[in-house]
Amino acid sequence: MPRPAVNVAARAARSAGNIILRYMNRIEGLAVVEKQRMDFASEVDRLAEAEIVKELRRAYPTHAIVGEESGQTGKGGPLTWVIDPLDGTHNYLRGIPHFSVSIALLDKGEPVYGVVFDPLRDELFTASKGDGAYLNDRRIRVAKRESLAGALIGTGFPYRVRNHLESQLAMTAALLKEAEDVRRMGSAALDLAYVATGRLDGYFEPGLNVWDIAAGALLVREAGGVYGDFAGREGLPENGNIIAANHKVAAAMTEVIGANATPRLLGV
Protein backbone atom coordinates (compact mmCIF):
# COMPACT_ATOMS: atom_id res chain seq x y z
CA MET A 1 0.00 0.00 0.00
CA PRO A 2 1.48 3.38 -1.01
CA ARG A 3 1.82 6.53 1.05
CA PRO A 4 -1.71 7.75 0.21
CA ALA A 5 -2.85 5.77 3.27
CA VAL A 6 -1.12 8.38 5.43
CA ASN A 7 -2.92 11.16 3.56
CA VAL A 8 -6.26 9.47 4.22
CA ALA A 9 -5.42 9.05 7.92
CA ALA A 10 -4.23 12.65 8.15
CA ARG A 11 -7.45 13.90 6.59
CA ALA A 12 -9.47 11.79 9.02
CA ALA A 13 -7.43 13.07 11.99
CA ARG A 14 -7.93 16.69 10.96
CA SER A 15 -11.68 16.14 10.57
CA ALA A 16 -11.82 14.64 14.05
CA GLY A 17 -9.69 17.50 15.36
CA ASN A 18 -12.19 20.02 14.01
CA ILE A 19 -14.95 18.32 16.01
CA ILE A 20 -12.80 18.31 19.14
CA LEU A 21 -12.04 22.02 18.84
CA ARG A 22 -15.66 22.87 18.04
CA TYR A 23 -16.83 21.49 21.36
CA MET A 24 -14.07 22.99 23.51
CA ASN A 25 -16.20 25.95 24.55
CA ARG A 26 -19.09 23.64 25.46
CA ILE A 27 -17.26 21.19 27.71
CA GLU A 28 -19.50 21.79 30.72
CA GLY A 29 -22.54 20.72 28.71
CA LEU A 30 -21.08 17.53 27.28
CA ALA A 31 -22.58 14.15 28.06
CA VAL A 32 -19.88 12.12 29.84
CA VAL A 33 -20.05 8.43 30.77
CA GLU A 34 -17.77 6.43 33.06
CA LYS A 35 -16.81 3.32 31.04
CA GLN A 36 -15.15 1.80 34.06
CA ARG A 37 -13.61 3.15 37.25
CA MET A 38 -11.87 6.48 36.53
CA ASP A 39 -12.11 5.88 32.75
CA PHE A 40 -14.36 8.41 31.05
CA ALA A 41 -15.62 9.07 27.53
CA SER A 42 -17.57 12.04 26.23
CA GLU A 43 -19.86 12.50 23.28
CA VAL A 44 -16.91 14.24 21.59
CA ASP A 45 -14.96 10.96 21.65
CA ARG A 46 -17.84 9.22 19.89
CA LEU A 47 -18.45 11.98 17.35
CA ALA A 48 -14.74 12.21 16.50
CA GLU A 49 -14.44 8.44 16.15
CA ALA A 50 -17.48 8.31 13.85
CA GLU A 51 -15.86 10.95 11.63
CA ILE A 52 -12.62 8.97 11.44
CA VAL A 53 -14.43 5.73 10.66
CA LYS A 54 -16.39 7.46 7.89
CA GLU A 55 -13.20 8.72 6.23
CA LEU A 56 -11.37 5.41 6.52
CA ARG A 57 -14.38 3.39 5.35
CA ARG A 58 -14.76 5.62 2.30
CA ALA A 59 -11.15 5.01 1.23
CA TYR A 60 -10.70 1.41 2.43
CA PRO A 61 -14.09 -0.32 2.65
CA THR A 62 -12.60 -3.81 3.11
CA HIS A 63 -10.29 -2.98 6.02
CA ALA A 64 -11.15 -3.83 9.61
CA ILE A 65 -11.32 -0.89 12.02
CA VAL A 66 -10.81 -1.08 15.79
CA GLY A 67 -11.84 2.02 17.72
CA GLU A 68 -11.57 2.75 21.41
CA GLU A 69 -15.25 3.65 21.61
CA SER A 70 -16.93 1.45 18.99
CA GLY A 71 -14.83 -1.72 19.12
CA GLN A 72 -14.16 -3.63 15.90
CA THR A 73 -16.06 -3.15 12.67
CA GLY A 74 -15.45 -4.87 9.36
CA LYS A 75 -14.07 -8.31 8.65
CA GLY A 76 -10.86 -9.44 10.29
CA GLY A 77 -7.81 -9.63 8.07
CA PRO A 78 -4.15 -8.67 7.86
CA LEU A 79 -4.92 -4.94 7.55
CA THR A 80 -6.57 -3.27 10.53
CA TRP A 81 -6.93 0.39 11.43
CA VAL A 82 -6.69 1.20 15.15
CA ILE A 83 -7.94 4.59 16.27
CA ASP A 84 -8.10 6.67 19.43
CA PRO A 85 -10.27 9.66 18.55
CA LEU A 86 -9.33 11.67 21.63
CA ASP A 87 -6.28 10.46 23.50
CA GLY A 88 -6.25 12.54 26.65
CA THR A 89 -9.98 12.77 27.34
CA HIS A 90 -9.36 13.61 31.02
CA ASN A 91 -7.19 16.57 29.98
CA TYR A 92 -9.77 17.71 27.44
CA LEU A 93 -12.65 17.62 29.90
CA ARG A 94 -10.65 19.71 32.38
CA GLY A 95 -9.45 22.21 29.79
CA ILE A 96 -5.81 21.05 29.95
CA PRO A 97 -4.25 21.63 26.50
CA HIS A 98 -2.60 18.27 25.92
CA PHE A 99 -4.58 15.73 23.89
CA SER A 100 -4.47 14.22 20.43
CA VAL A 101 -6.02 12.08 17.71
CA SER A 102 -4.21 8.81 16.99
CA ILE A 103 -4.68 6.61 13.90
CA ALA A 104 -2.54 3.68 12.74
CA LEU A 105 -2.76 0.93 10.16
CA LEU A 106 -1.53 -2.48 11.29
CA ASP A 107 -0.38 -5.15 8.86
CA LYS A 108 -0.52 -8.51 10.67
CA GLY A 109 -0.24 -6.65 13.95
CA GLU A 110 2.69 -4.40 12.98
CA PRO A 111 2.14 -0.64 12.51
CA VAL A 112 2.97 0.42 8.96
CA TYR A 113 1.28 3.85 8.79
CA GLY A 114 0.63 6.21 11.65
CA VAL A 115 -0.72 9.68 12.35
CA VAL A 116 -0.87 11.62 15.62
CA PHE A 117 -2.56 15.02 15.43
CA ASP A 118 -2.54 17.77 18.04
CA PRO A 119 -5.44 20.01 16.95
CA LEU A 120 -4.64 22.81 19.41
CA ARG A 121 -1.12 23.36 18.06
CA ASP A 122 -1.94 22.21 14.52
CA GLU A 123 0.91 19.70 14.75
CA LEU A 124 0.54 16.67 12.50
CA PHE A 125 2.98 13.81 13.13
CA THR A 126 3.09 11.19 10.36
CA ALA A 127 5.08 8.05 9.66
CA SER A 128 5.25 5.27 7.08
CA LYS A 129 7.22 2.08 7.57
CA GLY A 130 10.64 2.55 6.01
CA ASP A 131 9.95 6.14 4.98
CA GLY A 132 10.77 8.15 8.12
CA ALA A 133 8.75 10.27 10.52
CA TYR A 134 7.59 13.84 9.99
CA LEU A 135 6.11 16.79 11.83
CA ASN A 136 4.11 18.99 9.45
CA ASP A 137 6.21 17.59 6.54
CA ARG A 138 9.53 18.26 8.33
CA ARG A 139 11.68 15.18 9.01
CA ILE A 140 12.09 14.45 12.72
CA ARG A 141 14.57 12.37 14.73
CA VAL A 142 14.76 11.06 18.26
CA ALA A 143 17.14 12.78 20.67
CA LYS A 144 20.83 11.80 20.56
CA ARG A 145 21.20 11.42 24.32
CA GLU A 146 23.74 8.76 25.28
CA SER A 147 22.37 7.75 28.69
CA LEU A 148 19.79 8.57 31.34
CA ALA A 149 21.97 11.42 32.61
CA GLY A 150 20.10 14.62 31.80
CA ALA A 151 17.21 12.72 30.21
CA LEU A 152 13.59 13.93 30.33
CA ILE A 153 11.30 10.89 30.53
CA GLY A 154 7.57 10.77 29.99
CA THR A 155 5.17 8.35 31.66
CA GLY A 156 1.53 7.84 32.57
CA PHE A 157 -0.38 6.20 35.40
CA PRO A 158 -3.14 4.27 33.63
CA TYR A 159 -6.58 4.53 35.15
CA ARG A 160 -7.37 0.87 34.51
CA VAL A 161 -4.18 -0.72 35.91
CA ARG A 162 -3.75 0.78 39.37
CA ASN A 163 -2.89 -2.68 40.73
CA HIS A 164 0.65 -2.03 39.40
CA LEU A 165 0.91 1.40 41.03
CA GLU A 166 3.49 0.50 43.68
CA SER A 167 5.76 -1.11 41.10
CA GLN A 168 5.42 1.85 38.74
CA LEU A 169 6.20 4.30 41.52
CA ALA A 170 9.34 2.28 42.28
CA MET A 171 10.35 2.43 38.59
CA THR A 172 9.75 6.17 38.51
CA ALA A 173 11.77 6.75 41.67
CA ALA A 174 14.65 4.67 40.29
CA LEU A 175 14.62 6.55 36.99
CA LEU A 176 14.61 9.90 38.83
CA LYS A 177 17.85 8.92 40.53
CA GLU A 178 19.55 8.93 37.12
CA ALA A 179 17.42 11.08 34.81
CA GLU A 180 16.88 14.83 34.89
CA ASP A 181 13.11 14.63 35.40
CA VAL A 182 9.90 12.73 34.67
CA ARG A 183 6.78 14.21 33.05
CA ARG A 184 3.23 12.82 33.28
CA MET A 185 1.21 14.75 30.69
CA GLY A 186 -1.80 12.55 29.94
CA SER A 187 -1.74 11.56 26.25
CA ALA A 188 0.38 8.50 25.46
CA ALA A 189 0.08 8.99 21.70
CA LEU A 190 1.25 12.60 21.86
CA ASP A 191 3.98 11.78 24.38
CA LEU A 192 5.34 9.11 22.01
CA ALA A 193 5.26 11.69 19.21
CA TYR A 194 7.32 13.94 21.49
CA VAL A 195 9.88 11.15 21.84
CA ALA A 196 10.01 10.90 18.05
CA THR A 197 10.77 14.60 17.71
CA GLY A 198 13.25 14.74 20.62
CA ARG A 199 11.15 16.79 23.03
CA LEU A 200 11.19 13.81 25.39
CA ASP A 201 14.14 11.43 25.60
CA GLY A 202 12.00 8.40 26.44
CA TYR A 203 8.58 7.16 27.47
CA PHE A 204 7.24 4.24 29.50
CA GLU A 205 3.83 3.18 30.75
CA PRO A 206 2.11 -0.10 31.66
CA GLY A 207 -1.32 -1.33 30.65
CA LEU A 208 -1.92 0.60 27.44
CA ASN A 209 -4.13 -0.50 24.55
CA VAL A 210 -2.97 -0.91 20.97
CA TRP A 211 -4.85 2.21 19.84
CA ASP A 212 -2.98 4.24 22.47
CA ILE A 213 0.48 3.35 21.19
CA ALA A 214 0.50 1.98 17.62
CA ALA A 215 0.84 5.30 15.77
CA GLY A 216 3.22 6.82 18.32
CA ALA A 217 5.42 3.73 18.42
CA LEU A 218 5.79 3.79 14.63
CA LEU A 219 6.75 7.46 14.82
CA VAL A 220 9.51 6.60 17.31
CA ARG A 221 10.90 3.78 15.19
CA GLU A 222 10.82 5.78 11.96
CA ALA A 223 12.53 8.66 13.79
CA GLY A 224 15.46 6.36 14.58
CA GLY A 225 14.34 4.98 17.94
CA VAL A 226 13.11 1.69 19.27
CA TYR A 227 10.12 0.43 21.24
CA GLY A 228 9.35 -2.73 23.15
CA ASP A 229 8.08 -4.14 26.41
CA PHE A 230 9.49 -3.87 29.93
CA ALA A 231 11.61 -7.01 29.40
CA GLY A 232 13.31 -5.52 26.34
CA ARG A 233 11.44 -7.52 23.70
CA GLU A 234 11.08 -5.28 20.64
CA GLY A 235 7.77 -4.65 18.90
CA LEU A 236 4.29 -3.68 20.04
CA PRO A 237 3.93 -5.18 23.53
CA GLU A 238 0.98 -7.56 23.82
CA ASN A 239 0.62 -6.61 27.48
CA GLY A 240 0.62 -2.89 26.70
CA ASN A 241 3.71 -2.20 28.85
CA ILE A 242 5.80 -0.01 26.57
CA ILE A 243 9.27 1.57 26.61
CA ALA A 244 10.24 3.88 23.74
CA ALA A 245 13.41 5.95 23.22
CA ASN A 246 16.59 5.96 21.20
CA HIS A 247 18.53 2.69 21.44
CA LYS A 248 20.87 3.72 24.26
CA VAL A 249 18.26 5.40 26.45
CA ALA A 250 15.81 2.54 25.85
CA ALA A 251 18.44 0.03 26.99
CA ALA A 252 19.12 2.07 30.13
CA MET A 253 15.40 2.44 30.87
CA THR A 254 14.83 -1.28 30.35
CA GLU A 255 17.57 -2.08 32.86
CA VAL A 256 16.15 0.25 35.53
CA ILE A 257 12.53 -0.70 34.94
CA GLY A 258 13.34 -4.40 34.78
CA ALA A 259 15.00 -4.20 38.20
CA ASN A 260 11.85 -2.68 39.74
CA ALA A 261 9.01 -4.34 37.83
CA THR A 262 7.04 -7.33 39.04
CA PRO A 263 7.31 -10.60 37.06
CA ARG A 264 3.79 -9.98 35.76
CA LEU A 265 4.77 -6.59 34.32
CA LEU A 266 7.80 -8.21 32.69
CA GLY A 267 5.63 -10.91 31.17
CA VAL A 268 7.60 -13.77 32.69
* d(C-alpha 256, C-alpha 113), whole Å: 31
Q: Check if the beta carbon of residue 217 is closer than 8 Å to that of residue 244.
A: yes
Determine phi and psi for 30, rounding to 5 degrees.
Answer: -75, 145
The answer on 121 and 16 residing in a single domain is yes
Mean pLDDT in residue range 193-210: 96
Same domain, 262 and 230: yes
Let me know: does 102 contact 215? Beta carbons within 8 Å. yes
Determine the pLDDT at residue 41.
Answer: 54
Residue 188 included in any domain = yes
Give domain status of residue 8, yes or no. yes
| Residue ending a domain, choose from 104, 139, 174 | 139
- For residue 151, report the phi and psi dihedrals to the nearest 5 degrees: -80, 145
**Mean pLDDT, rounded, of the chain:** 90
* pLDDT at res. 96: 92
Other residues' Cβ atoms within 10 Å of the Cβ of residue 256: 23
DSSP per residue over 58-108, as a string?
Answer: HH-TTSEEEETTTEEES---SEEEEEEEEETHHHHHHT-S--EEEEEEEET
Residue 159 has pLDDT above 80, yes or no: no
12 and 130 both lie in a single domain: yes
Q: What's the rounded mean pLDDT across residues 17-22?
A: 94
31 and 68 co-located in one domain: yes
Buried-state track 10-27, b at ≥16 Cβ within 10 A, e below 16 = bbbbbbbbebbeebeeee
| 120-155 pLDDT, tens digit each | 999 999 999 999 999 998 999 999 999 999 999 999
Specify the DSSP element, H or E, that contains 267. none
pLDDT at 90: 87
243-268 residue pLDDT tens: 999 999 999 999 999 999 888 888 76
Looking at 81, 114, 139, the residue that finishes a domain is 139
**Is residue 19 scored above 50 in pLDDT?**
yes
Whether 109 and 62 share a structural domain: yes
Across the range 76-103, mean pLDDT stands at 92
**178 φ, ψ to 5°?**
-115, -35
pLDDT digits (tens, 9 = 90+) for 217-229: 999 999 999 999 9
Between 17 and 90, the more confident residue is 17
Could you tell me the pLDDT band of residue 72, with boundaries at 50, 70 and 90?
Answer: confident
Residue 6: phi and psi, rounded to 5, are -65, -40
Residue 151, CB-side half-sphere exposure with 13 Å CA sphere:
29
Summarize pLDDT for 25-50 with one digit per residue, the tens: 776 655 555 544 434 456 888 899 99
Q: Both 215 and 128 in a single domain?
A: no
CATH number at residue 76: 3.30.540.10
- Structurally, how many domains does the chain consist of? 2
Question: Do 84 and 190 fall within a single domain?
Answer: no
Residue 185 has pLDDT above 60, yes or no: yes
Residue 99 within a domain: yes
Same domain membership, residue 188 and residue 115: no
Which residues, listed in sequence order, are joined to residue 128 by a DSSP beta bridge? 113
Bridge partners (DSSP) listed for residue 106: 80, 111
The pLDDT value recorded for residue 266 is 87
CATH number, domain containing residue 176: 3.40.190.80
pLDDT of 160: 63
Domain for residue 145, yes or no?
no
Residue 197: Cβ-neighbour burial (10 angstroms; 0-12, 13-18, 19+): buried
pLDDT at 242 exceeding the cut of 50 = yes
Q: Which domain holds residue 66?
A: 4-139
Q: What is the pLDDT of residue 40?
A: 42
Residue 161: per-residue pLDDT: 60
